[in-house]
Structure 1
Amino acid sequence: MTNPPPAEIILSTSRTHGLVAIASGENLLQARDALQEAGFSRLPDGAFAAPLSAAQNARETASALVHRAHEHGATITTSPRPYLGDTGQAIAARLPGTWSAKLEIYPRQHWQEDLIGSLWDSGDLLQAMLHDRVPYAVMLNNHAGTELLLIERPGHASGYLLGAFATQEYDDNWDEPNAPRSIALPAAANRAARAVAHTFLPNYRRALHHRRLDTVMTALNRIRPEYETLQAIKDSGRYSDGMPLANSRLQPQMERAFADHAWLSFRNVLQHAPLLLSRCRPTASPWPQDAAALARLHEALANSQDAWAEFNDLRAELYSIPATLPARQWSQIRSELGAAVLPAIETWLADGETFERQARAAVPGGHVALSATAHRRPAPPTPARPTNAHL
């Protein structure tokens, strides 16, 4: 990534605002001072604008900006593209459903870098955010869980790159195998919107379906060996190495330890499986006989809702819980939750393979991609809200 000027003013034109300027660089305050002294007004999104309606006033503003920028040591760069905020609005207006577009400015490089951990991409957008200077971008949001990032395509005089952020429940997005590939968009807003609606969003929705399914199956695969080992010990009265269970009090301790560990994984099932189950249509699949197993899985999830609600209430109250709460008490909470959903765990272990084949047969299609889980990502540079690893 090349070092940007310490104070830079990036100019573009807008049908709505006239001449739009974005201040960037480590010394961005100097660039802002130059803009304000040249007669630019600040827009709500942080950019600056000056009208171009009167030719004489426009020339005076441009001349004043050149002089003020020189006085403040700011470099002026003219973009060959129209103002990105307008482009984002035009694309959002043409997408299916209701979308909003918001320009975000990253005047310093570390603000741009703050976005990288939230991106869920295996294509050029992630590479651009890693290796190119991206001083601003547009967030496209359908307010139903899908949030996209739109940037000007680096190294090209026109066109854009668009990719997705991960949904709220996912933090570890680096090298995630299901990550969709970002898409290069043409300059024309109507063509760009068609590419987003008919190509990117369906791919994104399928990728999210597979990621959720992998999350559920990984959780079950973590639980299964421990469950089978515990059951073998209970049935035989011996440890896995053949030694007899000498103390009868050890079995309840092992059950509590299993419930503790099982909850940490099974909560992923409770979070992701309902949406996947709702898409399964066994009668339309090659395995209509799976309907009974899916009904059992539905019932198991319904019977776990009290524990799931208790867990979410607890997460919402984390800030009122003393940080010094001993790990043993956290373990006890998890054990109680795990014991409460043990019948559901057993059902999901028994019918998990049936669920997997039905869910893989239910990959969504169509040109509208919507997520059911709301996503809230703090805008940079606000630090990410801390989480509690014990839960």
Structure 2
Amino acid sequence: MPRASRADLSSFASKVAQHLSGDWSSDYLSHPTYPDQFPRAEYIWDLAMVYGAVSTYVLTHDAILTGPDGIRLYVIDRPLHPEQFLVGAFAPDELKETYFWSNEIPHGIAVSSNPARAAHQITQRLLPRYKQAVARTEPPRAIRRGQTEPSRVATQTVVTPPEHP
């Protein structure tokens, strides 16, 4: 299969979506100007390659893959590596901002320009880390149901030694 070129991002993302397990869709967007790349990239859950590429390079386009349970993945060209793409996850909408920049971030990955191989890499490397990060950052069940966070009550037991005559 010929390598994907920079102009192939839309086609590449659509084919990756077809190869991923479950119901995935692809949404491609071209960016006429540098500032146009930031609104879609604002909630990328990454502080490594994907974040670095978005903050450092002018990206002329991107794609968002949306899958089961609302999982959203951000796909861009990998700067300086025309044979690869970068894929990162968006933080879930319900994720509290306090967890967004935690140590639980499922950093993005570089993937092959072969859509089937890229889908395999996403399935084996990115999606498991994403699901683990979501599980580790979920608030306790009481909070998820809209209740207030249970207060933590500290108790102290004082033991007095018996008096000797």
**Cross-structure match for 1:198:** 124
SS of residue in 2 equivalent to 1:151: strand
SS of residue in 1 equivalent to 2:69: coil
Q: 1:117 to 1:176 in 2, by over 3 A?
A: farther
Written as runs of structure 1 = structure 2, the 5 A alignment for 1:276-295 is: none
**Cross-structure match for 1:245:** none
Q: In 2, distance between residues paired with 1:137 and 1:117?
A: 13
CA deviations on 1:316-359 (whole Å, 9 max, x unpaired) are xxxxxxxxxxxxxxxxxxxxx76xxxxx936xx58xxxxxxxxx
Note the C-alpha offset of 1:174: 6.0
Q: In 2, distance between residues paired with 1:174 and 1:168?
A: 10
Q: In 1, distance between residues paired with 2:31 and 2:6?
A: 18
Note the C-alpha offset of 1:170: 2.8
SS of residue in 1 equivalent to 2:70: coil
> Does the 8 Å CA contact 1:179/1:207 hold for their aligned counterparts?
yes
Note the C-alpha offset of 1:122: 2.5
Letter of the structure 2 residue corresponding to residue 206 of structure 1: Q
CA deviations on 1:110-167 (whole Å, 9 max, x unpaired) are 2212234311113200100001111211100015220000111111121100001111
Q: In 2, distance between residues paired with 1:143 and 1:106?
A: 27
Note the C-alpha offset of 1:210: 1.1
> Does the 8 Å CA contact 1:116/1:130 hold for their aligned counterparts?
no
> Does the 8 Å CA contact 1:183/1:200 hold for their aligned counterparts?
yes
1:92 and 2:17 correspond: yes
CA deviations on 1:293-332 (whole Å, 9 max, x unpaired) are xxxxxxxxxxxx6xx4xxxxxxxxxxxxxxxxxxxxxxxx
1:105 and 2:30 correspond: yes
Q: In 2, distance between residues paired with 1:85 and 1:116?
A: 17
**Cross-structure match for 1:161:** 86
From 262, 266, 270, the counterpart of 2:143:
270
Structure with a larger share of its residues in helix = 1
1:185 and 2:106 correspond: no
SS of residue in 2 equivalent to 1:180: coil
Note the C-alpha offset of 1:182: 0.6
**Cross-structure match for 1:150:** 75
> Does the 8 Å CA contact 1:139/1:148 hold for their aligned counterparts?
yes
SS of residue in 1 equivalent to 2:105: coil
CA deviations on 1:262-282 (whole Å, 9 max, x unpaired) are xxxxxx8421xxxxxxxxxxx
Q: CA RMSD in A?
A: 2.5
Structure 1: gaps (5+ residues): 1-78, 217-267, 272-304, 309-336, 339-343, 351-391
Q: In 2, distance between residues paired with 1:345 and 1:84?
A: 47
Letter of the structure 1 residue corresponding to residue 143 of structure 2: L
Q: 1:121 to 1:206 in 2, by over 3 A?
A: same
Q: 1:116 to 1:87 in 2, by over 3 A?
A: closer
Larger CA Rg, structure 1 vs 2? 1
Q: In 2, distance between residues paired with 1:152 and 1:178?
A: 25
Q: 1:174 to 1:98 in 2, by over 3 A?
A: closer
Written as runs of structure 1 = structure 2, the 5 A alignment for 1:342-381 is: 345=150, 349=152
Q: 1:177 to 1:269 in 2, by over 3 A?
A: farther
Q: Scaled by the length of structure 2, what TM-score is found?
A: 0.79
> Does the 8 Å CA contact 1:148/1:162 hold for their aligned counterparts?
yes
Q: 1:107 to 1:170 in 2, by over 3 A?
A: farther
Q: Which has the higher contact order (CA 8 A, sep 6+)?
A: 2
Q: In 1, distance between residues paired with 2:53 and 2:76?
A: 9
Written as runs of structure 1 = structure 2, the 5 A alignment for 1:59-98 is: 80-98=5-23
> Does the 8 Å CA contact 1:117/1:174 hold for their aligned counterparts?
no
Q: In 1, distance between residues paired with 2:44 and 2:95?
A: 10
CA deviations on 1:45-92 (whole Å, 9 max, x unpaired) are xxxxxxxxxxxxxxxxxxxxxxxxxxxxxxxxxx94452111011101
Structure 2: gaps (5+ residues): 154-165
Q: Among the aligned pairs, what percent are the same residue?
A: 23
Q: How many residues align?
A: 149
Q: In 2, distance between residues paired with 1:345 and 1:157?
A: 51
